[in-house]
A and B are shown apart, each in its own frame.
Chain A
Amino acid sequence: MARLFSDAWQVVIGIETHVQLKCRQKLFSRATNGLLSDSPNSRYNVFDAAFPGTLPKLNPKCVDLAVRAALALNCNLKPRSNFDRKHYFYPDQPVGYQITQYYSPFALDGTLTLPKLGRRVRIKQIQLEQDTGKSVFDYKTQSTLVDLNRAGAGLIEIVTEPDLRSTEEAAEYVRSLQTLLRSMGVSDGNMEAGSLRCDINVSLNRHGEPLGTRCEIKNINSVRFMVAGIQHEIERQKSILCAPSPMQVSQETRGFDEHRWETYTIRSKEDAPDYRYMPDPNLGTLTLDENTIEHVRNRLPPTPEATRNRLINTYGPRGVSEDSIDVLMGLDSSLDVPFDGGTISNHESHSTNSVAYFDTLCKGRDPREVINWITQTLLGLLSTMGKSFSTSYLATSQMGTLIDLVSNGEMTRSSGRLLLRHILLHSPSPDTSIRRLAKDLDLISIGPTDHADEICRRAIEALPSEVAAIRSGNKNVLNRLIGWVVRETKGKADVQKTRSRLEDLISKM
């Protein structure tokens, strides 16, 4: 059905994304940005509340993060841009205007390539602007309450050209943008929490004909709703255009009803407010000289694409599969993005990202071993314990020792698992010696010769009938002897070595 439909009509989608910058302080005031957990009206100062006599003061940290986003989206950065006031009266906009960049945004002409569908989406512009406060309607008292915690928080608005052609592309665009901005440290990109919100422009036209009239769906806060909203909008516009007596789609701003999964009219083009844009007389010109841009560029974290390519090129030839690299990179998706473009440095062991953890551990070790320990053993143990993934449970040096003990044969793989489980359950201090812990827990393998031989001999003595069966050709029975040895040593005996040792002893009998 969809295919049939798309043969006749072209769907054209453009997306404006409002992204909250991950900064400690607001865009033009030194008030701390509110968290969802903060009580209402606890995170604002006189400027955010529009007190008379207050003036804006640009937070350079916000500019740095905005420049990061622009560089990651391959934009042209304008050496000079300006701030403008967009006027409208609304309770959660106490000053009566929003400071944005209407006449000259700081970044133009970028691109984002969708990795799965391979489409290149053009970014028209990015502008820096303020967020508003929140209005909360209280049905009990039939009144609107205002929370200024979010008022004046720094946002960037990323505007695409109308380059998207399907709901799938729109969804992938938003998801890739989310991942990109998170990995750049620009934003949490959390749609549910409102740190990433989309306005979607949708229009239909017949192939080869000019673009149709667009409708804008405002303030979408999940990819699911976005897909549903676009789908509904396509159907709605199609029914207008394909009616027995076809009509024009009228340009309007629409909302998405999350209960009925439909879009609805907010206002028509005629009712569009005149925002009376005016250059802000206080803030002057935002200058981005080469030095500033270089400074940001030099500290730019690699894009997810670049990281993935690097990992594949470095570790692929050494036997690490692309799948496990994707798993590894996926582990970081739930990490908190640090404030103000800070890096998740290694000495803060509690918040190292998995890729850095992996890179460090691979120094002098087999990357196949390392990735298995992280993406299988560690991830598996944590999920059985119902804990979310983190590299914070043991320092790279501790994890390294653990992996080495197993690779050197000083500890069996199952002892290693046991030790890791113990650590995850009891979280010893980060300077605990893993080797000593392993010894204390009696997990170090039995010695290579004397003691091992002795236990194998005891096994042969203890299970004479099994030995006879083996000697008569039934090799499978050997496993029973091995099992006896493993039980006797509480798992410390290496299975492979025990097998060859037993075979050796029995053959010499």
Chain B
Amino acid sequence: MRVARLLLRRCLSTSSFDPRNAIHEKNSSINAFVHISDCPPTIEAETSSQSACSKPLQWTTVAVKDNICTSDMPTTCSSAMLENFTSPFDATVVKLLKRAGADIVGKTNCDEFGMGSLNTHSIHGPVINPFQTLRSAASVSWRNREKRTAGGSSGGSAAAVAADMCDIALATDTGGSIRLPASYCGVVGLKPSYGLISRWGVVSYADSLDCVGLMAKSTFQVRRAFDVLETPDPNDPTSVSKRLREATAGVLREFSPLKRRSPFEDSQLRVGVPQEYFAQELSPSIYNSVRTILKALKDLGAQIIPVSLPSTSYALSAYYVLASAEASSNLARYDGIEYGTRIPLPPGSDSRKASKVYSHTRTQCFGDEVRKRLLLGTYALTADAFDNYFLQAQKVRQLVRNDFDRVFRWPNLRTAEGLSSSSLSAEGVDVLIHPSAIRTAPLLPRETASTATKSSMDPLDTYLQDVLTVPASLAGLPALNIPVPTIQDDNVSADSDQDGWPVGVSIVGQWGCDRLVMDLGMVVEVAMLSSNTQ
């Protein structure tokens, strides 16, 4: 009940004042927003009208990641290439939000074209993680607090939610770009099943992996927006058909182990714990958080089952080959000819070849990380490398999918269409649970430059982080990050890694099981709340 009341209050909290004042105020220290919209005049007018109340997202403030096109605000993708670019059209997701009555308050910071894990590769500067530890909150002024990353690439969206600058944030996730910042900032983040939410108007990084997802303080809020956005879009060729959506919903209705009233009584929720996700690099605090959640679920009657996903170790390299290859293709359009920034050649240089004009603009306007991935991707697609890199990576991707299909008791309705929904297999699990990140949010590079903790910025280390999020991306599965309340246990020694910063746990389901994953997310939230209040 308490949760419900809490949620209700949150839903209605934004109706009485313009949230933009608070956004402006907070943004100067967090840098979550890169553009804040004007207050829509319709809000005042509509609050009184009856029909407005029927809109599902009325009075809800929503922030939109800056790689999602909006016709009334710039869409920069945090790149100098699109610094002054405003799209002539709204992305389908933006249109759906507007139609549902949402108040789109602005565009959020991100890594350039979604490439990065720390939200430091941005022309708008890094996002500062707004989280306040119990230790720092009261005594230390903002200016003097340690500045940690919000994670990337959707760092702005995560920080905006964490700092109460909006109710819900739209973000994108290609290899973990929602789940990682959600974990670092302590918010809920959903990367839905591939194909459920339209990508029309979402600036492509790697088409076969890109997903639009949602962030909020609670799974309930995420779910509200998901219900608005989960609809077929004829403009997106990868958008799943109405027929398949209905079939999936039917299977879920029939077999969901989470019956509304008594979640675990008559059904055995089977929770898988993939052993490959508990690597050496995992810090003990992360390990403990997962244990907390698993214990809570076990207490509720769920079965905890260790499972193995043997292809996990290959997933990361496959991901970087595929994502970079697709990026090198998708970003080829930024040449400064039709739109975007164009850096004129210095006077006197040879402009007869178009390639000179292009390379000049592209070299100047793309940031380091983007340039690095474009070169890697370009190489992976060359005739000599294609078989060894791109094709191999495609094969690994299939192995990763097979791994998941083997451990889940749910059929993969996307790849095994027409499969009868007569029963679930007795073996296998309903969901997987694993840590979302190998550690808490690292310090921002500026603060670490001269110290020994420099390793937090080691590129290989940031890639290693992706081990935990990339497999679900390769397989197109729904994955939800749930923040685990920080254990303020006096018995825990002042261990260096028990820093009080947020830690998240991922719930991963079979393709199409997004609502099952969210249902479980809500169960976990309630369990955590009640365990906290005990």
Cross-chain contact A51 with B326 (CB below 8 angstroms): no
Complex partner residue of B378 from A53, A54, A276, A277, CB under 8 angstroms = A276
Q: Are A283 and B381 also in contact (CB < 8 A) when A46-B88, A51-B88, A87-B329 are?
A: no
Cross-chain contact A53 with B383 (CB below 8 angstroms): no
User: Which of B331-339, B460-468, B494-502, B517-525 faces chain A?
Assistant: B331-339
User: Which of A91-99, A296-304, A447-455, A476-484 faces chain B?
Assistant: A91-99
List A contacts of B201 (CB < 8 A).
Answer: 53-54
Q: How far is the CA of A50 from the CA of B206 in the complex (A)?
A: 16
Give residues of chain B (331-364) contacting chain A, Cβ–Cβ below 8 Å. 332-333, 335, 337-339, 354-355, 358
Cross-chain contact B329 with A278 (CB below 8 angstroms): yes
Tell me whether A118 is interfacial, beta carbon within 8 Å: no
Q: Are A57 and B337 also in contact (CB < 8 A) when A96-B329, A96-B332 are?
A: no
Cross-chain contact A146 with B207 (CB below 8 angstroms): no
Cross-chain contact B332 with A55 (CB below 8 angstroms): no
Cross-chain contact A284 with B238 (CB below 8 angstroms): yes
Cross-chain contact A57 with B234 (CB below 8 angstroms): yes
Q: How far is the CB of A59 from chain B (nearest CB, A)?
A: 12
Q: How far is the CA of A91 from the CA of B351 in the complex (A)?
A: 13
Cross-chain contact A51 with B237 (CB below 8 angstroms): no
Tell me whether B178 is interfacial, beta carbon within 8 Å: no
Q: How far is the CA of A282 from the CA of B239 in the complex (A)?
A: 10
Cross-chain contact B325 with A46 (CB below 8 angstroms): no
Cross-chain contact B378 with A89 (CB below 8 angstroms): no
Q: How far is the CB of A48 from chain B (nearest CB, A)?
A: 10
Tell me whether B382 is interfacial, beta carbon within 8 Å: yes
Tell me whether B203 is interfacial, beta carbon within 8 Å: yes
Tell me whether A274 is interfacial, beta carbon within 8 Å: yes
Interface size on A, residues (CB 8 A): 30
Complex partner residue of A52 from B238, B325, B333, CB under 8 angstroms = B333
Cross-chain contact A278 with B69 (CB below 8 angstroms): no
- Give a binary string over B278-321; 1 marks a CB under 8 Å from any A CB, 0 the rest: 00000000000000000000000000000000000000000000
Q: How far is the CB of A201 from chain B (nearest CB, A)?
A: 20
Give residues of chain B (170-219) contacting chain A, Cβ–Cβ below 8 Å. 199-204, 206-208
Tell me whether B75 is interfacial, beta carbon within 8 Å: yes
Q: Are A52 and B332 also in contact (CB < 8 A) when A58-B237, A89-B354, A89-B355 are?
A: no
Q: How far is the CB of A171 from chain B (nearest CB, A)?
A: 35
Cross-chain contact A55 with B235 (CB below 8 angstroms): yes
Q: How far is the CA of A58 from the CA of B328 in the complex (A)?
A: 23
Q: How far is the CA of A281 from the CA of B204 in the complex (A)?
A: 11
Q: How far is the CB of A84 from chain B (nearest CB, A)?
A: 10
Cross-chain contact A91 with B337 (CB below 8 angstroms): yes
Complex partner residue of B87 from A50, A51, A277, A278, CB under 8 angstroms = A51
Cross-chain contact B200 with A51 (CB below 8 angstroms): no
Tell me whether A264 is interfacial, beta carbon within 8 Å: no
Cross-chain contact A53 with B202 (CB below 8 angstroms): yes
Q: How far is the CB of A282 from chain B (nearest CB, A)?
A: 5
Q: How far is the CA of A96 from the CA of B326 in the complex (A)?
A: 12
List B contacts of A89 (CB < 8 A).
Answer: 332, 335, 354-355, 358
Cross-chain contact A52 with B203 (CB below 8 angstroms): yes
Q: How far is the CA of A5 from the CA of B334 in the complex (A)?
A: 53
Cross-chain contact B89 with A281 (CB below 8 angstroms): no
Q: Are A49 and B91 also in contact (CB < 8 A) when A89-B332, A276-B381 are?
A: no
Cross-chain contact A53 with B69 (CB below 8 angstroms): yes
Cross-chain contact B333 with A282 (CB below 8 angstroms): no
In the complex, what residue of chain B is closest to A143 when comparing beta carbons? B351
Q: How far is the CA of A54 from the CA of B339 in the complex (A)?
A: 14
In the complex, what residue of chain A is closest to B325 when comparing beta carbons? A278
In the complex, what residue of chain B is closest to A91 when comparing beta carbons? B354
Tell me whether A6 is interfacial, beta carbon within 8 Å: no
List A contacts of B325 (CB < 8 A).
Answer: 278
List A contacts of B206 (CB < 8 A).
Answer: 281
Complex partner residue of B354 from A57, A144, A274, CB under 8 angstroms = A144
List B contacts of A338 (CB < 8 A).
Answer: none
Cross-chain contact A95 with B333 (CB below 8 angstroms): yes
Give residues of chain A (92-141) contacting chain B, Cβ–Cβ below 8 Å. 94-97
Give residues of chain A (26-54) contacting chain B, Cβ–Cβ below 8 Å. 46, 49-54
Tell me whether B236 is interfacial, beta carbon within 8 Å: yes
Q: How far is the CA of A55 from the CA of B122 in the complex (A)?
A: 25
Q: Are A57 and B237 also in contact (CB < 8 A) when A49-B338, A96-B333, A281-B206 are?
A: yes
- Give a binary string over B84-118; 1 marks a CB under 8 Å from any A CB, 0 the rest: 01011101000000000000000000000000000
Q: Are A53 and B329 also in contact (CB < 8 A) when A89-B355, A91-B354, A94-B337 are?
A: no
Tell me whether B390 is interfacial, beta carbon within 8 Å: yes
In the complex, what residue of chain A is closest to B207 when comparing beta carbons? A281
Cross-chain contact A55 with B199 (CB below 8 angstroms): yes
Tell me whether A85 is interfacial, beta carbon within 8 Å: yes
Tell me whether B77 is interfacial, beta carbon within 8 Å: yes
Tell me whether A400 is interfacial, beta carbon within 8 Å: no
List A contacts of B234 (CB < 8 A).
Answer: 57
Give residues of chain B (220-248) contacting chain A, Cβ–Cβ below 8 Å. 234-238
- Give a binary string over A272-295; 1 marks a CB under 8 Å from any B CB, 0 the rest: 001011100111100000000000
Tell me whether A255 is interfacial, beta carbon within 8 Å: no
List A contacts of B328 (CB < 8 A).
Answer: 276
Q: Are A52 and B82 also in contact (CB < 8 A) when A96-B329, A281-B326 are?
A: yes
Cross-chain contact A52 with B337 (CB below 8 angstroms): no
- Give a binary string over B360-399; 1 marks a CB under 8 Å from any A CB, 0 the rest: 0000000000000000001001110010001000000000
Q: How far is the CB of B381 from chain A (nearest CB, A)?
A: 4
Q: How far is the CB of A52 from chain B (nearest CB, A)?
A: 4
List A contacts of B335 (CB < 8 A).
Answer: 89, 94, 96
In the complex, what residue of chain A is closest to B322 when comparing beta carbons? A281
List B contacts of A282 (CB < 8 A).
Answer: 207, 237-238
Complex partner residue of B381 from A49, A146, A277, CB under 8 angstroms = A277
Tell me whether A430 is interfacial, beta carbon within 8 Å: no
In the complex, what residue of chain A is closest to B383 when comparing beta carbons? A274
Q: How far is the CB of B268 from chain A (nearest CB, A)?
A: 37
Tell me whether A261 is interfacial, beta carbon within 8 Å: no
Q: Are A90 and B354 also in contact (CB < 8 A) when A55-B199, A55-B236, A96-B329 are?
A: yes
Tell me whether A409 is interfacial, beta carbon within 8 Å: no
Tell me whether A56 is interfacial, beta carbon within 8 Å: yes
Q: How far is the CB of B94 from chain A (nearest CB, A)?
A: 10
List B contacts of A276 (CB < 8 A).
Answer: 328-329, 378, 381-383, 386
List B contacts of A90 (CB < 8 A).
Answer: 354
Q: How far is the CA of A51 from the CA of B200 in the complex (A)?
A: 11
In the complex, what residue of chain A is closest to B337 when comparing beta carbons? A91
List A contacts of B68 (CB < 8 A).
Answer: 53
Cross-chain contact A46 with B89 (CB below 8 angstroms): yes
In the complex, what residue of chain A is closest to B357 when comparing beta carbons? A91
- Give a binary string over A142-153; 1 marks a CB under 8 Å from any B CB, 0 the rest: 001010000000
Complex partner residue of B237 from A50, A85, A95, A284, CB under 8 angstroms = A284
- Give a binary string over A51-78; 1 marks a CB under 8 Å from any B CB, 0 the rest: 1111111100000000000000000000
Could you show 12 A-B contacts with beta carbons less than 8 Å apart?
A: A52-B203, A53-B199, A54-B200, A55-B204, A55-B236, A55-B237, A57-B234, A85-B329, A89-B354, A276-B386, A277-B386, A278-B325
Chain A to chain B: the 9 pairs with minimum beta-carbon distance, closest first: A96-B332, A276-B381, A281-B208, A281-B207, A50-B333, A53-B201, A52-B203, A53-B69, A95-B333
Extra contacts besides A51-B88, A53-B201 (15): CB < 8 Å: A46-B88, A49-B338, A51-B89, A51-B338, A52-B82, A52-B204, A53-B91, A90-B354, A95-B333, A276-B328, A276-B381, A277-B386, A278-B325, A281-B208, A283-B237
